[in-house]
Structures are given as C-alpha cells and as structure tokens.
Structure 1
Amino acid sequence: MGCGNIGKYIYNALSQRHEVAVADKAGGCPSTIARDALEVPLGGYDLVINALPGNIAYKASRRALEAGVDVVDVSFFPEDPFELDEVTKKSGARYIPDAGIAPGLSNVLAGRLVAELGKVDELGIYVGGIPERPVGPLGYSITWSPLDLIEEYTRPARVRRSGELASVDPLSGVELVPSPLGMLEAFYTDGLCTLLKTLDVPNMYEKTLRWPGHIEKIKLLRDLGFMSEEGDPPPRLVTANLLSRLKFDVPDVVYMKVVGSGGQKKVQYEVTVRPRAGWTAMQVATGSVAIGMLYVIKDLDPGVTPPEYIGMSNRLFPRLLAAVRQHGVEIVQEIVERRAL
C-alpha cells in the first residue's frame, strides 16, 4: 500500500521474487491498483506492507488486520499501534508496526542492546537521513514524505527521564554530535514510540541528526505558522509542497547510532547506509527493514509485535540482520567496559 519513495523500493525488490500488487490511487508503480487504499479488496493476499502517509496509514493497517491479513507497517502515525492488538489477535493476523529505519531498526537494536546488557540505565538513539554535504536553503534534501517530515518537526517528543514520561519541544535539546560524516546537529524527535511501553529503561530519548544550522531555520518556519494545520488551504500542505521541491543531485547518507549504558558497560551500534543501484540511502534503509520483516513475521504469534522484540530474539535477530545486510546496510557494534586495574 503506497508507491511513494519507499514503496517504489519495496516493490522493486519484492517483485523480483514474489507476485506483488500495489494499491495507490496516484499510480506510479507497475501492477498498480489505482484505488484508494481504504477501498481496495484484500482477498487473496498473504501480506500487506503499509507504506502510506501517516494521515491514512493507521486506518489502512486496521482494515487489513481486521480482514486477517498480516501487516508490516513502515508508516509514521501518531496513534498507538498496541490499540490494534485485540483486533489482530481476534482475526489471527500478525502486525509489525514501525518497521522502517527509525522507528524500526532503531527499535531492533535497542531491544538487542537491552538483551545483551540486562539492566540499562540510559538509552539514546541518534538518526538522520541527510545529504552527504549541506545543500540548498536548509542544508537538506527531501528523500521521504514531506508531510511526515513536518510531523517530525511538530509532534511533541516523548522521552523518559528518571523513570518518568515527559513531553518536550521536538526541536529542543540541541547538541553537536560527532559522526563519520563530520559534526552533526541533534534535536529531540518523537521516535521512541513502542519503546516507551516495552523497555524498562529509566532514561530514554531519540534525536534526529541534521547538518548544523538546519534547526534554527526549521524553528523559524514552524514558529511563523508555516507548519500549522489551521487555514484554507492549511499552511502545512503548502509547506509540504514547497519542501518536496528541495531535491538536489547530491547523494544522501543515513547514519544512526543506538547507545546504551548499564553499570560499567556501554554498548553502541552504528548503522551507515549509502545509495545503491540508483536508489537513495533512505529508500534502501527504510525499505530493507520492511523487507527483512518478511523473513520473521510468519514465525510470530498473532497480535502486535514491536521491532524491539525481534531484536531480543536470538532466533529472529540474526535472520533480520542477514536480510538487511543483503541490501548494503552496514551495522557495527562497539562495546566499552570499565574495569578497575
């Protein structure tokens, strides 16, 4: 469902080995059923991959699950996916929400980190899909849904501090972060999602990475009302249309690190994804995780299974890891342990 930037990659990869149909009223992919995803018949399909924009994605996943069809969901929506657990178990379907890069692979690695450390005191996720060098007025090039990008900048970010849930400005907590690409700027975003319910970690947060200077410009646009939903037409739609034009002929890079510490031990996972075979790094990063979930979903029990549970499984984690590596996703683990000499 959905044939945008990510849907195209998923279709291309899967159609080489499977029979795939695409539901997208705008078309854009071969084998497209040019109908609304909330209306297309679901009979006869083994599985749905939901790559729709967040404003309709939740309803589309719910409809498929009610029909008893397994769903891998890469969309970004504000609803709680655990609300679908009862209907999913009732229909006998399996549902993996947040099956992209972040949330998604970030959750998988967070779950793995907790499984390895046992007790984790602090968990931080840093992730960004950026051009390999600053470009354009925002130092940024669009590689995914501009509406979902705006949602990232405006939705209050949920974090956990000293065991308590807190909501913070999504463009706050700015810090400079060293990376293989150079020094990057990090700010809070609402990406912990299911981790807030599934992991017993007293301090958790996610931050998005951009080239320095980006956040100041985005805050100006947001504070001036250019990302508001109020008005006719809503300024958010106009801004999304303008942002969609910010595509530059500069390769993008997806970089992520998941860092956790417990006691005297610190574990860090670093993920780097670069363009491959004409596809952007963001398409590869997000699409490869969704595709990798196909290799684990049929072994799950009916209900909602967040990606972190797959990371905790000694049986399923290696299977997913092998799948994403086939798409050129590089994952490196670093372990630091302090010992008295």
Structure 2
Amino acid sequence: MRVALLGAGHIGQTIARLLNDSGDYQVTVVDKSEAALAKLGAGITTLCTDTGDPRQLLAALRGHDAVINALPYHLAILAATQAREVDCHYFDLTEDVAATRAIKQLADGASSAFMPQCGLAPGFVGIVAHHLTQQFETLHDVKMRVGALPAFPTNALKYNLTWSVDGLINEYCHPCEAIRDGRCLEMLPLEGLEHFSLDGVEYEAFNTSGGLGTLCETLQGRVRSLDYKSVRYPGHRDLMKMLLEELQLKDEQDTLKTLLRKAVPSTMQDVVLVFVTVSGLRGGHLVQEVFARKIFADRREDAPLSAIQITTAAGVCAVVDLFREGALPQAGFIRQEQVALPDFLSNRFGRAYQQSRHVESIA
C-alpha cells in the first residue's frame, strides 16, 4: 500500500518507521520542515512541501492509496478534503470534535474510506469501551479514563510535555460530549473532578474534549451514562483552571502555548494509563467489567520511544493494517468502535498494547 504520511513530528516519525520496517507499505513522509524530514534518515521517502497550502497538499497526495494525517488538529479538515479530491483513503489522529463531524460529512457517499481519531484517546480507548459493552444485556455506566503522564513529575503542575501542546490546550478548552440519564449533552472542560488510585499511585481525572470519539452517537439509547476524562496527578487541574479561567489565558491560547513550551520541559520518560469501567446487567445481575493497563516508555539507547509515541503510533498503524487486510469497511466513514478489540490486540502493531503491563490492584 502506498501511504502519504503527513507530519514528521515525534508521532509521525514513529509511524513512518513502523510502517516502513513492516515491508508492506511504501511510505512518503510529507512535511514543511526539512529539518524534521532529515531526522528520518535513509530508507524512507520524504517530500518537503507546505502542508497548509491546498494545492501543494493535493499534489503531494496524488498517486497514493491512503493518507495518514499526523499534522496539528486544525489541518484535519483540509487534509481530509484533499484526500477525497484524489480518492485516497484517509486516517488521522485528531481529537477535535468539530473536525471529526466535518470529516464524517465528507465521507458521505465517498468511494474511499475516512477514519479519523485513530490514536490513543480517541482511538484505542473507544475500541476497548465498545468491546466491554458487548458483554452486557443492559448497559448502565461507561467510564473512560486516559492519561499520558511523566514517570517522574517534579514541577507544580506535576506534568511534562509528552505530546502536542496544540492538542493539549484544545482538549482543555472545548466542550466535552457525554451521556447523562440517557441523553447526549455537553459538559464543561476541567469540571467533574474525581480521584482514584492504581497500584498505590494517586490520580485525579476531569472532563476534557474529544476522547469519546463517536461513542455518544453509537451508544445513545443504550447506556445510562457515558463520559471521558483525562488523568493527571493531583493538583494539576486546579492550576490549569487558574491559568485558563482566572488569568483568562483561554482567550490568549497562543500566549499560553508559548509559556508552556518555554517553561514546562518535555520528557521521553512517560507512562500511559488506560482505565475503562463498564457496568450493567448480565444474567439478571449487576456486573462491572474493568480494563486497566499501563504502557511505559521504551528506553533502549539505540531507538528510545516515549509511551505516547508507542501507543499513538500503534493505534493508527494497527487500524491501517486491519483496513489493508480487509477487516474494516472499505468506503465511507469508519468509527473506532467498528474495530474488534481481539483483532486489534493480535495485530502486529496493536500488540504494543497487549505487551503492556496489566494493572493488578484498583481502588
């Protein structure tokens, strides 16, 4: 399969190497930064072009079977539009709700496939949640909790930059979809604070935007409550709420992003936490099923990978691989929950989640 991979950042580079090393994909990495493309090294085809220019992007996509979009979320609609123009299958990592809705409209009647939100959350967590819901006759509550956290928090925010600052601020500032009492509604970001512990470590979780993907639409009328929250170490939410609301940096997002990039160090030493609970009736009894897992960074000296690189790249590579094998619809809009969890975990790329450590104790 000939794949145009848009974006040569940390995630894009990981995707490129995984697909290229598999031997089943001809990958061309497209980015506007020569420096970023140079980091890919020999053996991977690259193209330096302005990915924000519609005509240049269209030319870059021609001749490919599929496009994987690993660009910032605000370019998702442009990339999907140009993919439809050249009849190219489209996959991305966006968590942006508005972009996903627009891509769903683009997919209507298309002869090619459109599958956004193929990362960790939205993405893998939705596959897990939907799989668990199939085990119940009557659904009550679905709770999805995901965190990409520093393994060694040292600052007041108890946070290090592990992925896109643009994506981080986006999920902190936009309304959050949820289901309450069987009705779809929007919740405020940073609200709904709760605390829990795994393996003796204390965490907090609060509403953030985008993590549910299309599950609200899929489960509406079947579930009593459904929500998604980001996991952080205790105290993080209050400080972000102060920055965004009290200092009004929600209205000065470029300023906030500059401050975070300047003052908050990035780290490759991170851990990804996935914690999903589903409750309901089975055989007339109230039952709860839990999926809890931690994925750690790969600290090999020759090719270190952060946990967020591993999980995000594995997510999109696995669904593209399943699509190539014919395990997913070949046209129109594809939801993450159409992926069978056993198929995902047995896939050569999805095994990155299977090989992670199961959490033994939950409180």
Question: TM-score when scaled to structure 2?
Answer: 0.83
Residues 191-210 of structure 1: matches in 2 within 5 Å?
Answer: 191-199=211-219, 200-210=222-232
Question: Which residue of 273, 277, 294 maps to 1:259?
Answer: 277
Percent identical = 27
Partner SS state of residue 103, structure 1: coil
The structure-2 alpha-carbon separation of the partners of 1:22 and 1:250, relative to structure 1 and needing over 3 Å to count, comes to: closer
CA distance in 1, matches of 2:120, 2:105: 26
Q: CA deviation at 1:274?
A: 0.8
Instruction: Tell me the residue number matched to 2:62.
Output: 43
Paired letter, 1:258: V
Question: Which residue of 5, 12, 15 maps to 1:7?
Answer: 12
Q: CA deviation at 1:181?
A: 6.2
Instruction: Tell me the residue number matched to 1:225.
Output: 248
> What per-residue deviation string (whole Å, max 9, x for no partner) do you get for residues 16-65 of structure 1?
22321111112413333221224222121121111111111122122213
CA distance in 2, matches of 1:87, 1:56: 15
Instruction: Tell me the residue number matched to 2:3.
Output: none
CA distance in 2, matches of 1:65, 1:181: 48
Instruction: Tell me the residue number matched to 2:346.
Output: 322
Paired letter, 2:16: Y
CA distance in 2, matches of 1:322, 1:110: 17
Tell me if structure 2 keeps the 8 A contact 1:123–1:203: yes
Tell me if structure 2 keeps the 8 A contact 1:58–1:79: no
CA distance in 1, matches of 2:333, 2:359: 28
Instruction: Tell me the residue number matched to 1:164.
Output: 183
Q: CA deviation at 1:87?
A: 4.0
CA distance in 1, matches of 2:244, 2:203: 21
Residues 105-120 of structure 1: matches in 2 within 5 Å?
Answer: 105-120=124-139
Paired letter, 1:243: L
Tell me if structure 1 keeps the 8 A contact 2:318–2:350: no
Q: CA deviation at 1:8?
A: 1.6
Tell me if structure 1 keeps the 8 A contact 2:91–2:114: yes
Q: CA deviation at 1:82?
A: 4.9
Residues 28-107 of structure 1: matches in 2 within 5 Å?
Answer: 28-29=36-37, 30=40, 31-37=45-51, 38=54, 39-40=56-57, 41=59, 42-79=61-98, 81-85=100-104, 87-88=106-107, 90-107=109-126
Larger RCO (CA within 8 A; separation ≥ 6):
1
Q: CA deviation at 1:248?
A: 4.7
Tell me if structure 1 keeps the 8 A contact 2:192–2:207: yes
CA distance in 2, matches of 1:5, 1:64: 23
Uncovered stretches (5+) of structure 2, i.e. residues with no partner: 1-5
Runs of 4+ with deviation above 6 angstroms? none
Q: Does 2:253 align with 1:236?
A: yes
Partner SS state of residue 67, structure 2: strand
Partner SS state of residue 192, structure 1: coil
> What per-residue deviation string (whole Å, max 9, x for no partner) do you get for residues 102-141 of structure 1?
1100110111112222431110001100011322231111
Tell me if structure 2 keeps the 8 A contact 1:295–1:320: no
For structure 1, which segment, 70-79 or 288-297, has the greater mean C-alpha deviation from structure 2 after superposition? 70-79
Question: TM-score when scaled to structure 1?
Answer: 0.88
Alpha carbon RMSD of aligned pairs, Å?
Answer: 2.1
Instruction: Tell me the residue number matched to 2:317.
Output: 291
Partner SS state of residue 178, structure 1: strand
For structure 1, which segment, 239-248 or 257-266, has the greater mean C-alpha deviation from structure 2 after superposition? 239-248
CA distance in 1, matches of 2:152, 2:140: 34
Instruction: Tell me the residue number matched to 1:338.
Output: none
Paired letter, 1:227: K
Partner SS state of residue 90, structure 1: coil
